[in-house]
Chains A and B, each alone.
Chain A
Amino acid sequence: MSEATAFASILPQAAGDGFARIRREAREQFLARGWPTRRNESYKYTDLSALERKSWPRAEKPAAAFDLPDALGTRSVWVDGYLDEAAGDARVTSLQACAASPPAALAGLLGTLAPQDDSVVALNTTLFDYGAWIDLPDDAAPGDPLELVYSAGDRQTPAANHGRLALQMGRNSRLVLIEHHLGGPAETLNTRVAEIALASGAQLLHIRLNEAGEGTRLLGHTTVRAGAGASYRCLNLDLGARLSREAFMVNLVEDEASATLSGLALLDGKRHADADVRVVHDALHTRSRQAFRGVLDGRSRSVYSGRVVVRPDAQKTDSGQESANLLLSPRAEADTRPQLEIYADDVICNHGAATGAIDPDALFYLQSRGIDADAARRMIAYGFAARVLAGLDNADLHHRLSTLLAMRMQVPQEVLEWL
C-alpha cells in the first residue's frame, strides 16, 4: 500500500459546504501526492514522516480556555480550532460562519492564490474548518493591530486543527495583522493556509509569532499577491513548537510593489523551524528584501530557503537576501539556501550568508567590563536576534516583541529595563 492510500483511510470526506468543489479537488491532490517527503526539494531538511504514522483527529471542544498572554491588538482566539468568544474582544468574520454560502469576494479569493499542488495546502483546503475572512475596504486603516490567536488546547490526546485566513485589502488600506501560535505541551498538528490579496497602494505588516508548545507541529503556507505600489512586510518569529514550517510565496504582480520579509528562529532543545520563502518579481521597479536569522542552542535546527525569481518583464528589480546564524551549541545546525532565478537583465540582486559562534572578542570585551561570561553571552545573542526587529516602526509592538525576546533569552536586568 502506498503512503498516500494508507493516509486515505483517515482523510475524511470533504465537508459539503460552499467550498465543496475546491475541497474535493484538494482531496484528490493530497491523495495523489501524500505527505511531502524529503525527496521533494523544498522539504529536503524538514522531515514530516513522523506525522504520517500518527492519526490526527479533530479535537473535542476543549473544556477550559487556555491561559493567554496579554493581547497584542484587537484579538480573536481559536483553541484547537474552536472560536473562544470569551477570550476574544472583537471578532473578524469567522470562516465557519460564512462557509455555507460564502460571499462572492471570499469565493473569488479562497483557493485561488495558494498553489494547489502543495500537499500542505491540499490537506488544509480539504479539511479547514475555522479561520478568518477579512475584507478591508479602500482607504481603511484600523488603528489597532488585529491579532489572531491559534492556541492548542489543554488535553492529553493528540489532535489536529486546520485553519484558514483569507485577507483582501482595498486600495491604499493599511493593516497590522498578527498571527499568534500559542499553547501548552499537548501533541498538536496545526495546518494554516493564508491567502492575501493587496490592491494597489495597500500596506500590510504581517507578523507571524510562533510561541506554540513543544508538542506542536505547525505547517503553514502564506501566499501574497501584491498590486501596484502595494507593500507587504512580514516578520516571522519562530520561538516555539516542536516543528514549524512556513512557506511564503509573494508575488509582486504590478509595478512598484514591494516585499520585506524578516525572520528569526530562536530555538533550543530539538526544535526545528523552516522558513521557505519565494518572492516572484513580475513587474517593473519591484523591490524585495529578505533577512533571516537564527539563534540556535541544544540540538535545534533552522532552515531558511530564500528564492528570488525575476521574470523577464521585471526590469529594474531590486532584491536583496541575507541570512545569519548564531550557533550557541556545537550540536545545533543551520541550513541556508539562497537561490536566484533571473530572467531579466537590468536588475540588482544581492545575497549573503554567515553562520558562526559567539565572537570571542566581543565576549572578552564585555567580560573585561566586569560582566560575567554567561550574561555577556546572553547580551551578545540578544543583540544579534533583536536585529530582526530593527525595521519594525510600530513602537508599541517593537517594545513588546523586544521584551518577549529578551525574557526568552534571559538577558540581564540592565538590558530588560532599557527596552
Chain B
Amino acid sequence: MNDTLLSIRNLHAGVDDKPILRGIDFDIGRGEVHAIMGPNGSGKSTLSHVLAGRPGYTISEGSITYDGKDLLEMEVEDRARAGLFLALQYPVEIPGVNNVYLLKAGLNALRKHRGEPEVDAYEFLKLAREKLKALDLDDSFLNRGVNEGFSGGEKKRNEILQMLLFEPQLALLDETDSGLDIDAMKIVADGVNSLRGAERSIILVTHYQRLLDYIKPDVVHVLMNGRFVKSGDASLAKMLEERGYDWLRAEAA
C-alpha cells in the first residue's frame, strides 16, 4: 500500500500569462495534517483551486498524483467523488437552490461512487441534523438557498457541514478561519478534529497561526512567491506568528 495520498511534482500554474505557482513539490501521507502558510499573494488559493479543478487556471508544467491517479486528468466532480474536498475561502451563493439539494445530491453522488447504497430522505435528515447540531446550526439551514444571504461565519460553517457529511479522504480548507470570531473558530476546529483519522488527510491553508492552536498540524509549510521555502513541525507556525515572513523572504532570496 502506498502511504502517500497526494503527491505534487514541479507544478507550474497561473492565470492567463501570469505565473503564480512556480515549481511546487509537495507530499502528504494518509492520516496526516499539514498546514500551508504564507503571506497574501503567495499562491495559497491558487494551489487549492488547482487541486479542486476550478476553471480559469493554466497548468504549464508538472504533475499531481492523487491516490495513484493523475488528478489533472480528472473532472471536477470526479475529484470530489474520489474523496477530495475543498472548503472554499469564498463559498459561492446559488440563489434558489436549496442547501438540502446540494447536500443530498452531493452525498449520494459520493456514496454511489463508493458502491454504497444511496440514503433516502429520512436517513439523510437524521444524518444532517446530527452534523448541524455539532456545528451549532439550526435545521432551517437546510432549506435556505445555498449560501444565499448567509453571514461570513454561516458560509464557513456550511462548508464544514458539507465536509462532515461527505467524509472526504483529503480535506482542503482554504482560509476557513478568516472572518471567524473565536467561538465560531472553535466550532469549526472541533468539526475538523472530529474527522481526523488514520485514513484521512487534511490540508489547512491559512494566513494566521491561530487556527493551528486548535488543530495541531503534523507538518507546516511556508509558501512564498509560488514556491515552498520552508517546512517544519508545528513550532514553525509559532515562529511565523512572532517573526512574520520577512526573515524567510531574506532566506529564500
Contacts and interface: CB of A to CB of B under 8 A. Distances in A.
Contacts of B98: 383, 415, 418
A380 B85 CA distance: 21
Interface stretch (A168-176, A193-201, A223-231, A359-367): A359-367
Contact of A366 (B53, B79, B85, B102): B102
B76 A364 contact: yes
Interface stretch (B35-43, B62-70, B107-115, B216-224): B107-115
Interface string B133-154: 0000000000001100000000
Contacts of B106: 366, 369-371
Interface string A341-368: 0000000000000000001111011111
B96 interface: yes
Interface string B51-82: 01111000000000000000000011101110
B205 to A, nearest CB: 15
B62 to A, nearest CB: 21
Interface in B122-136: none
A385 B96 CA distance: 8
Contacts of A382: 96-97
A385 to B, nearest CB: 8
Interface string A398-419: 0000000000000010110110
A386 interface: yes
Contact of A418 (B92, B101, B162): B101
Contact of A368 (B86, B95, B104, B121): B86
A375 B80 CA distance: 15
Contact of A414 (B52, B88, B92, B101): B101
A376 B76 CA distance: 12
Contacts of B166: 369-370
A360 B108 CA distance: 23
Contacts of A414: 100-101, 104-105, 108
Instruction: Tell me whether chain A's interface is mostly helix, strand or loop, or mixed.
Output: helix
Nearest to B97: A383
A370 B94 contact: no
A367 B94 CA distance: 13
A371 B77 CA distance: 6
A372 interface: yes
A367 B101 contact: no
Nearest to A416: B101
Contacts of B79: 368
A368 B76 contact: yes
Contact of A370 (B80, B92, B95, B146): B80
A387 interface: yes
Interface residues of A, number: 29
A119 to B, nearest CB: 38
Interface string A150-170: 000000000000000000000
A364 B54 contact: yes
Given A383-B95, A384-B95, A417-B121, A369 B80 contact: yes
A237 to B, nearest CB: 16
B130 to A, nearest CB: 19
A385 B95 CA distance: 10
A367 B104 CA distance: 13
A126 to B, nearest CB: 43
Contact of B95 (A371, A387, A412): A387
Contacts of A384: 95-96
Interface in A105-155: none
B91 interface: yes
Nearest to A386: B96
A368 B53 contact: yes
B142 to A, nearest CB: 9
Nearest to A390: B96
A387 B96 contact: yes
Contact of B94 (A360, A366, A373, A415): A366
A367 B105 CA distance: 10
A382 B101 CA distance: 11
Nearest to B49: A364
B77 A372 contact: yes
B88 to A, nearest CB: 7
B92 A361 contact: yes
B96 A367 contact: no
A414 B128 CA distance: 14
A379 B80 contact: no
Given A367-B80, A369-B80, A370-B113, A383 B102 contact: no
Nearest to B91: A365
B162 A369 contact: yes
Given A365-B88, A414-B101, A415-B101, A371 B96 contact: no
A386 B148 CA distance: 15
B100 A371 contact: no
A102 B228 CA distance: 88
Interface of A: 359-362, 364-373, 375-376, 379-380, 382-387, 412, 414-415, 417-418
Interface of B: 52-55, 75-77, 79-81, 85-86, 88, 91-98, 100-102, 104-106, 108-110, 113, 121, 145-146, 162, 166
Nearest 8 CB-CB pairings of A with B: A383-B96, A369-B106, A383-B97, A370-B109, A367-B76, A370-B80, A414-B105, A365-B92
Given A379-B94, A387-B96, A418-B100, 18 more contacts: A360-B55, A365-B88, A368-B53, A369-B162, A370-B81, A370-B106, A370-B110, A370-B113, A370-B166, A379-B101, A383-B145, A384-B95, A385-B96, A414-B100, A415-B98, A418-B98, A418-B104, A418-B121
13 contacts: A362-B92, A365-B92, A367-B53, A367-B77, A368-B77, A368-B79, A369-B105, A369-B106, A370-B106, A373-B75, A375-B105, A376-B77, A415-B105
